[in-house]
Amino acid sequence: MRRLLGYDVADINRLLFLFPVGEVESPMLRILIFFGALLCVPLSVAASSEDVTRSLLRDYPNINYQQISPSPVAGVYQVVVDQSEIVYYVPATGHLITGEIWTRDAQNLTQKAKVDLMTQKAGLFPLDKAIVIGKGPHQVIEVADPDCPYCREGSAFFAGRTDVTRYIFLFPLNIHPDAEAKAAYILSSPEPDVAYEEVMGGAYDEQPLPEFKDNGLLKEHQRLGQQLGIHGTPKYWVDGRFVAGSNLQLIERMLADKKN
């Protein structure tokens, strides 16, 4: 009889049959019921990382994953896919779950795991390839799209600050048709910091870009973004700590805390 991590598949199926998940329409309620069923399974058999990996690849042979680790929920494993996204795998049943895990005191553990994952990538940026603005004591790495309104909001937030050194990498998104040309212009300029401020200020929103010769640096920035799992902008690393999105109030607090 086929077994998964010490359990008979038939026994697991009988367990799930007791919980009519298929009749529940609410996706959130389905997840809660499923986890309730999972917690009824005895936890005496601990799966090794090798067992979990083999089980994942058996159930999902085409999955492109980078990391597997235990999640905060017993019997459920955190899987990193696409370099920066997190899904959850249940070896005992073969389920792959997308969504977030929250605690009863309203902590988003999935978001925390993503922040920790992306924080580890701060050292992977080749700073000599960045646009550098400022000479302040705090290091801020930015990934931006020249036509992203939230990126422009962040650029205005940092403009003129004397407490940061900014290392800017450009990652134009497909939803902004003019962003790639603007990014190439910035990075090919003899003064990319000046060109960046002009573009982010809207100087070429209503008029064509000046002629320029593409130096190919944008392709390097784009490859880096893909390797790091960048799917949207803006992204920030403040003194090595990752901040998702345009959370400028959090960045202000982080910089203020560093001063004290």
Beta strands in 23-84 (DSSP E): 65-70, 77-81
Say if 117 falls within a structural domain: no
**Domains in the chain, number:** 2
Beta strands in the chain (DSSP E): 3-4, 7-8, 65-70, 77-81, 85-90, 95-97, 131-133, 138-144, 164-170, 235-238, 241-244
Residues 159 and 205 both lie in one domain: yes
Residues 99 and 126 both lie in one domain: no
We report the CATH number of the domain holding residue 131 as 3.40.30.10
Say if 185 falls within a structural domain: yes
Q: Residue 196 belongs to what domain range?
A: 122-259
Confidence (pLDDT) at 10: 45
Residues 188 and 229 both lie in one domain: yes
Say if 115 falls within a structural domain: no
Kind plus residue range of the DSSP H or E element containing 251: helix 248-259
Residues 84 and 27 both lie in one domain: yes
Residues 153 and 69 both lie in one domain: no
Residues 237 and 137 both lie in one domain: yes
Which of 46, 72, 105 is at the close of a domain?
105
Confidence (pLDDT) at 4: 42
* 210 C-beta neighbours (distance < 10 Å), count: 10
Say if 110 falls within a structural domain: no
Per-residue pLDDT of the chain (260 residues; tens, 9 = 90+): 444 444 444 444 444 443 444 444 555 555 555 555 555 444 434 567 889 999 999 999 999 999 999 999 999 999 999 888 999 999 999 999 999 999 999 999 999 999 999 999 999 999 999 999 999 999 999 999 999 999 999 999 999 899 999 999 999 999 999 999 999 999 999 999 999 999 999 999 999 999 999 999 999 999 999 999 999 999 999 999 999 788 999 999 999 986 54
Read off the pTM: 0.75
Residues 52 and 126 both lie in one domain: no
Residues 128 and 193 both lie in one domain: yes
CA distance 172 to 70: 35
